[in-house]
Structure 1
Amino acid sequence: MAPKSSTAKKPAAAAFTPHDHSLCVDDAMMRARTLCTEAGVRLTPLREEVLQIVWSSHQPIGAYDVLASLGKKHDNPKPPTVYRALDFLLEQGLVHRIESLNAYIGCSHQDLGGMGAHNSQFLICRSCGNAKEIADPAIGEALQKVAAAEGFKQEKRVIEITGLCRDCAAS
């Protein structure tokens, strides 16, 4: 189920724990600049702006919503521009794609192996639309063991668990 529209959303559950979200955004932007510099890749102003839009909340955001947000500051941005920026951010491990929602969310575990993709696990609240990335190595190890026993070579592993966050379950 897709998250409710922003006009109908409840007060943010802040990815399930109350906090000052501006600190998440500031930290993510600082880490992104550092990681890109260390990797020798360019975090252009447009890519940085797209990343900031993705990090604007803990709710996954679709590419066309990113485009609409860019349209508030830029004259007639085109979808390929947004998709190229999102592809760059995905390649650098700065965002994740939530497959079930066809949407993107900032990577909160950039410290796991630096740049590039890592195996992800997400808790997605079907009521408020917030998503939280979790990193439990035991889950990854268990899945790797099962796949290896079947002779299956994993290429990508994203686990999406949909349900209700603590606040939504309580109301």
Structure 2
Amino acid sequence: MGVQEVQACLDSAHQRCSESGLRLTQKREQILRLMLEAEAPLSPYEVVDLYNAQAEQNMPPNSAYRILDFLAEANLVHKLNSANKYIACSHIACSHPHSASQFLICSQCKTVKEVMMEPKLLKEIQKNVSSAGFKMRHPSVELECLCGECSES
């Protein structure tokens, strides 16, 4: 992601947080910036390593976990449960509402692409969940795939 795109996402994140009564503190912004600049999902320990490599003061892992949880609750990053890693939301700077996310995860190179789930599909999934006597907590879906590059090799 380019410098201008990162800044647009950060500006949007500040606006979203302000509208929701949340604070995007300096450390939270720095972690979000790391996530936006990352080329792959990051574990909390990878976030700590990246942060500590460029910050004046070291951040303990428990702080990274808390910040990542905050960013996830604010819908600025997503947790990939299958990998226990986090990825920046690819729709932070969008002003229109979004459906649930599908994460296409390449099982070879670990590249992740976020795509929006069609509302019709989400309703069908919610219906199936409800029929089974469950309540959906997080409607995102993680799909193990092969990216175009890996499927060609």
TM interval, shorter chain, is 0.7 to 0.9
**Which residue number in structure 2 is paired with residue 96 of structure 1?**
78
**Which residue number in structure 1 is paired with residue 40 of structure 2?**
59
Query: Aligned partners of 2:5 and 2:112: how far apart in 1?
Result: 14
Q: TM-score, normalised by structure 1?
A: 0.77
2:113 aligned with 1:132: yes
Aligned pairs (5 A) from 1:78-93: 78-93=60-75
Higher relative contact order (CA 8 A, sep 6+): 1
2:72 aligned with 1:77: no
Q: TM-score, normalised by structure 2?
A: 0.85
Q: Contact 1:109–1:135 (CA<8 Å) still a contact in 2?
A: no
1:100-149 Cα distance to aligned partner (Å, 9 max, x none): 110000112345658xxx73310011222221111122321110121233
Q: Contact 1:58–1:105 (CA<8 Å) still a contact in 2?
A: no
**Which residue number in structure 2 is paired with residue 27 of structure 1?**
8
**Which residue number in structure 2 is paired with residue 47 of structure 1?**
28
Q: Percent identity?
A: 36
**Which residue number in structure 2 is paired with residue 156 of structure 1?**
138
SS in 1 for 2:82: helix
Unaligned runs of 5+ in 1: 1-20
**Which residue number in structure 1 is paired with residue 126 of structure 2?**
144
**What code does the residue aligned with 1:105 have?**
I
Aligned residue-pair number: 148
SS in 2 for 1:55: helix
**What code does the residue aligned with 1:33 have?**
H
C-alpha spacing 1:41/1:108, structure 2 compared with 1 (3 Å): same
**What code does the residue aligned with 2:44 have?**
A
Query: Aligned partners of 1:169 and 1:150: how far apart in 2?
Result: 35
Query: Aligned partners of 1:160 and 1:128: how far apart in 2?
Result: 15
SS in 1 for 2:79: strand
**Which residue number in structure 2 is paired with residue 17 of structure 1?**
none
**What code does the residue aligned with 1:144 have?**
Q
Q: CA RMSD in A?
A: 2.0
